[in-house]
A = this chain, B = another copy of it.
Amino acid sequence: MAPEPGRWTVAATPDQVAVLRRAVCEYARGAGITDGRLGDVRLAVSEAVTNAVLHAYRDRDPGEVRVHATVEADGCLAVIVEDDGFGPLPRPDSPGLGLGLPTIASVADAVELTAGTAAGARLSMRFVTGG
């Protein structure tokens, strides 16, 4: 009995990273995820939302970050983080360490980066829950 999908929309500001991280973890817990896997979800969501806050709008006014979480038919947890920014574009002046995407790839079972539905970037992560 999979829970209804979760949807959250926040402003792309640094304080919202913790808000979304907690919201998705609570959703994942409600979906019966194991404690081990929960740590992976927490870290991956934190990195993905951080990227949207840091990179999507750059010098523009911060727009939205939208997160969508759902349990798929095979029991996998899928989390999508989407923004309306520049789209996935390289950034030689990145303030980051360049660890975000590879960190997500190393804790999630799959990560897909595409252009957003209208504009911006869309990062999809899947976690096998094995339960």
Which residues of A are interface residues toward B (Cβ below 8 A)?
87-92, 94, 97-99, 101-103, 105-106, 109-115, 121
Residues of B within 8 A of A89 (CB): 102, 106
Task: Give Cα distance in the complex from A101 to B94, angstroms.
Answer: 13
- 5 closest Cβ pairs, A-B complex: A98-B98, A88-B105, A90-B102, A90-B99, A112-B112
Does B114 contact A109, Cβ atoms closer than 8 Å? Answer: yes
Which one, B90, B92, B106, B115, contacts A87 given CB within 8 A?
B106
Nearest neighbor of A91 in chain B, beta-carbon distance: B102
Which one, B106, B109, B121, contacts A90 given CB within 8 A?
B106
Which one, B88, B103, B110, B115, contacts A102 given CB within 8 A?
B88
Does A106 contact B92, Cβ atoms closer than 8 Å? Answer: no
